[in-house]
Structure 1
Amino acid sequence: MLSFRLRLADIQGIGWRWDTDRWASGESWIRPAHAAVLDAELVQCQGAGVCALVREDKDGEADYTSLLLRPDEVQVSAGVFGTAPMYLVAVGEELYGSWDLAELRPHLRPDRLNSRAVARTLSRQHRYGADTLFDRVYRLTERATAVFTPAGLTIVYPEPAQHVLQPRSLRAGVDPVDAFDGLLTEVVAEWRSTTGSVGVELSGGADSGNVALSTAAAGFGAVHTFGLLMDGRIGLHQRDRRRVLVDHLGLQDTAVSAMQHAPFAPGGVRGSRLPHDPAGAFYQEAFDVVRAQAAARGCEVIFTGGGGDEVNAHHSRTTAELPTADPIPWFGDKATQALAQVNENLAPIPVLPVPTLMAFGLHNPAYLKLGIWPVAPLVHPRVVRFMEQLPHQHKRDKMMFRDRLRRAGLPESVAAPTEPENFLAVMESGLRTYGFPLLDDMLRESLLVDLGYVDPDALARARDHAERAPVVPDLLCDTLALEVGLRSLA
């Protein structure tokens, strides 16, 4: 939500002034993100100190990032939602922070990586904590506080969030579909008084379909929908589902062909070697086009279906075990050794589901660059708590979500599609068309190989096998994306 450069020598007094798009004092500055629905203020705190706060300007519980500046001390704190990440790096007596990792490029060393984070990225064993790919660059996790003094930077974690560990029985006469309908629409409507045009990411699935239902019912002036269309038979069915939803709700739709913006395609962030987060989502090129369409239509808020899988998951937070990852043939010695540490230095249990928070970090900064604030109503804390208490039979195969779509008058093909969309064919096309030449380049010169994370001979064998195989191993995409991303910041 904000970016800053803070020198301890500049924060001794209260001489902050507004300059164009930021507060400034000496060589220090604090710049709020420019999304229209964020409210920013800098005030004198009780006692000695200055407080800077950037928060969602809406009814109800809001996401925020705050700075507390006192002589020889900076405190950076985050709220529970984790909508936008916050990355921090200390250099001497200066603290730099941003929600956009590429903004910290002068302080990122692609040759000095966090081995644990690299192994997580290459093996797709993502974890939520302070680690980033770069040594001494940290992520501020939800509800955490970073404290910076002349002694250095420390992260203070909160207590683990409390959750409902077992479902409860419904009272007689309670209709969970009606209760969910009212709750989700209420959460979406919190934005009604603060924004004009809004958008919805609409894939054609049950998660985004339910968010679209609530957005249409919340009483916004103009609602646009945006989505990626797949190719082939699955894409035809997806196109039909989206058309039925849009026509039924009276929304204004824009569709983007995903195959035309496959991973590593020319003109995309990776193909153009633009500075970007190396851990960015594999579908970033396609969604960048969706985001540009949303910005062109003046959307200030975009509602997403993020978290639908997680809130419908059938497990207890105390007994769930992560699956053991299969060995990756092209792992180098350094990555193999670091695999033993992937479960170290984790943040405490958060309020929102961990996979959702991880996805926010990959998906949301690109929206914020365009001044659009992304909102995932399905993981609002009130919705999360409701879903935790819901008996499992209403969550199995997203039964309650699908029943709500049926009750809204939508056909079975929308409520429970037989062939839901996925991005695998687009990923495969991108790897075959654009990725293999980049892999060949990587085999000639590679940061990951030089640093010992990738075995070049094993990678060459995997590349040759993939060219002949009917299906390309999708983890090759993760390896190549990490290499390209690191080079973009070198």
Structure 2
Amino acid sequence: MLKAEIALSDLAHTPTSCPDATIVFGASRIEPYRHALLETLLVVTDGQWFVVVRERLKQKSASCGSGTQHVDSHRFADLHRECLMWPLDYVMVEVAQAGCRMKLRAGALGCAPVYCRTTSDRLSVSWDFADFLARPLMPDLELAARYLGLGSTYSAQHLCAGITVLTERATLYVEPGQARYQYPNPVESRPASPGAASGTLEEFEEILCRTIDTRPLSGDMIAIELSGGLDSATVAAAATQLYGPVASKGILVDGEQRQAQRDRRDNIGRLLGLEDETVDIDAYPPSLDLRSGARPEYPNAELYLEAFDFLWSRAHAQGRKTLFTGVGGDELYPRYRDEGGGTRSPSSLVANARHRAEAILTPAALEAARTVRGMDAPASPVPVSALVASLCQAPHLLRHGLWPVNPLSHPRLVEFCHGLPPDKRHGREMSRQYLHGRLGDQVFRKDYVKETFAGVLPKLISQQHETLVAQLSECALADFGLVDRRAALALLDEVATTRADAPAAPLIAFLWLERFVRQLR
């Protein structure tokens, strides 16, 4: 949500706001991301000041709006408290001029994470990791080993040593000579008891629509990432209910599911009045080229960036300002341990994939991959899948001028759906009921097969097997002591031959990390 280059000695200066909303103090500057859905507020009082970049509210509060306010200490405290309680996302810089001390805080939604690099006298911040690539970087070998072992990925610790991710609700404390990171308190998990929530369809609809309508939006500002599945259709139905016709964008998969996906998209678009546009995954396939190119590579990779880039560019060219997604839908309706069968458990597939992943690691990397994950961020009000998705997509979306909104991962909706009785939670029954009212009961039958990209990359790997083998004659991850190159090539051969899911997952993680670290050399 912002970029900043700050010499800590400049914090003693009183800041000023430029016409473009850039905050200047001494030779330092804070540059808010400029977007119709964001506002920047600078508040100054004796000896301290803060600047916040935050999502705009549809219902304005006392401090809503961009600009600068010079206030007394009581008003400063009130405005500061209001910012900390802001119901949408924000990034906030707080400064105490005495001692040149500062705090960097993040809101709870994790929409557009920022990255930080501190030295004894300087802080650099950016929503775009590519800004740090001009300086020498080294991979954090312990975290890279965990990544290759398919371990957890949402953490303040970054795949590059010296870079810190400001995770949701976290605070970075900085003063000359030292910096300290503080995670927030974990959100307590409260599994529902049957009947703990009344769980009416009207309540679900009201909460869903309210999470969307909190921002000052109109139909011509919105694009929806529409896969053809139940989650994105739920978001599309709510958006059109509030704003009328909106644009929708989606990628068509190949294979047996293609026609069913196309038919669902056509029905959803016709019934909701969407301005729909699709791109075939075969027209913009993911690149497997391991050579460093003109495009910066990111540690949290969007696997199908080429196709999404085309659609996001189209949305921007059409004047759309925000992208709505169905991210978070997979975690919206959990099945608790005491509720028995009927759920498809991926545990055996995951265990198999992790076994394959560990087989390509060196002994030292394997030990690191199996260590206790004490570095992970604590439980949050937003599902971790949505937070990781933001790490993957947000920099690219912001480059296209699109602000991400994930209604199904909003804490209020998550809390409501997690508290539903089993008969309204299992099989995503509440979303089904909502869509039946908007689309009829024929679009999403209980036996519908969800679209998947699972076969895309194994197919490409098989087709480009010889090229990949040649490019892996030199292996950066092997040079760093993380990967056994022969084992990695054996895994590549297996995927090229079988196209199976279990070996494909660790191979894809290896290929994407290999490409990322090559640009650091």
Alpha-carbon distance in structure 1 between the residues aligned to 2:91 and 2:187:
18
1:468 deviation in Å? 2.8
Residue 369 (1) aligns with residue 396 (2): no
How far off its partner does 1:415 sit?
4.5
Asked whether the 8 Å contact 1:35–1:368 carries over to 2, the reply is no
In terms of mean alpha carbon deviation, does 385-394 or 337-346 score higher?
337-346
Q: Which residue of 2 aligns with 1:183?
A: 207
Amino acid at match of 2:52: L
Would you say 1:129 and 2:155 are equivalent positions?
A: yes
- The 1:376–1:115 alpha-carbon spacing in structure 2 relative to 1, beyond 3 Å, is same
Alpha carbons of structure 1 residues 270 and 286: separation in structure 2 relative to 1, 3 Å = farther
Q: 2:52 — aligned with what?
A: 53
Report the 3-state secondary structure (helix = DSSP H, G, I; strand = E; otherwise coil) of the residue aligned with 2:516: helix
Deviations 1:268-291 (A, max 9, x none): x98845112122122222222221
Count of aligned positions: 479
Q: TM-score, normalising length from structure 2? A: 0.86
Per the normalisation by structure 1, the TM-score is 0.91
Partner of 1:466: 495
Residues 1:299 and 2:320 aligned together: yes
Letter of the aligned partner of 1:11 in structure 2? Answer: L
CA contact (8 A) 1:264 1:270 kept: no
CA distance in 2, matches of 1:196, 1:4: 32
Do the aligned residues in 1 keep the contact of 2:455 with 2:499 (CA within 8 Å)?
no
* Contact 1:88–1:139 (8 Å) recurs in 2: yes
The CA deviation string for residues 13-54 of structure 1, in whole angstroms up to 9 with x for no partner, is: 11434275632333311111122211112221x441221110
Q: How does 1:133-282 map to 2 (within 5 A)?
A: 133-169=159-195, 176-193=200-217, 196-219=220-243, 222-264=245-287, 272-282=293-303
Residues 65 and 77 in structure 1, CA contact (< 8 A), matched pair in contact too: yes
- On the 8 A contact 1:278/1:483 being kept in 2, the answer is no
Query: Hey, what does 2:121 align to over in structure 1?
Result: 93
Cα offset for 1:162?
Answer: 3.7
Change (3 A) 1:124 1:485: same
Deviating more after overlay: 332-341 vs 69-78 = 332-341
Instruction: State the alpha-carbon separation in 1 of the partners of residues 22 and 463 from structure 2.
Output: 43
1:305/1:377 contact within 8 Å kept: yes
Q: Does 1:13 align with 2:13?
A: yes
Q: In angstroms, what is the RMSD of aligned CA positions? A: 2.6
> In the alignment, which residue of structure 2 is the partner of 1:332?
362
For residue 447 of structure 1, what is the aligned residue in structure 2? 476
Task: Check the 8 A contact 1:275/1:489 in 2, yes or no.
Answer: no
Contact 2:458 2:495 in 1 (8 A): no
Look up the SS of the partner of 2:263 in the other structure: helix
Letter in structure 2 aligned against 1:280: A
Displacement of 1:118: 0.9
1:321 Cα deviation after fit: 13
- What does residue 32 of structure 1 align with? 32
Please, which runs of 5 or more residues in structure 1 have no aligned partner? none
Letter in 1 for 2:134: P
Q: Are residue 353 (structure 1) and residue 353 (structure 2) matched? A: no
Deviations 1:329-352 (A, max 9, x none): 211233212112251212222111
Question: Counterparts of 2:176 and 2:346 in 1: how far apart (Å)?
Answer: 41
Q: Residues 76, 470 of structure 1: CA spacing in aligned structure 2 closer, same or farther, 3 A cutoff? A: closer
Q: Are the structure 2 counterparts of residues 270 and 142 from structure 1 closer, same or farther at C-alpha, using a change threshold of 3 Å?
A: farther
| Distance of 1:125 and 1:333 partners within structure 2 | 16
The match for 2:67 is none
* Contact 1:264–1:434 (Cα < 8 Å) also in 2: no
Whether the aligned pair in 2 keeps the contact of 1:310 and 1:356 (CA below 8 Å) is no
1:428-454 Cα distance to aligned partner (Å, 9 max, x none): 233234465244312x22221100111
Q: For 2:4 and 2:122, how far apart are their aligned partners in 1? A: 10
2:431 corresponding residue in structure 1: 401
Task: Say if 2:116 and 2:166, in contact at 8 Å, map to a contact too.
Answer: yes
- Gaps spanning 5+ residues in structure 2: where? 60-86, 339-344
Closer, same or farther: CA 34–333 of 1 in aligned 2, 3 Å: farther
Contact 1:186 1:218 in 2 (8 A): no
State the Cα distance separating 1:390 from its structure 2 match.
Answer: 0.9
Contact preservation (8 Å) 1:145, 1:156: yes
* Partners of 2:510 and 2:127 in 1: CA distance: 24
SS of match in other structure, 1:3: strand
Counterparts of 1:120 and 1:370 in 2: how far apart (Å)?
31
Aligned partner (choices 413, 432, 456) of residue 485 of structure 2 = 456
Distance 1:107 1:316 in 2: 48
Say if 1:97 and 1:104, in contact at 8 Å, map to a contact too.
no
Instruction: Pick from 450, 469, 478 the counterpart of residue 509 of structure 2.
Output: 478
How far the C-alpha of 1:362 sits from its partner, in A, is: 0.8
Structure 1 residues 15, 406: CA separation in 2 closer, same or farther (over 3 Å shift)? closer
Helix, strand or coil at the partner of 1:68: strand
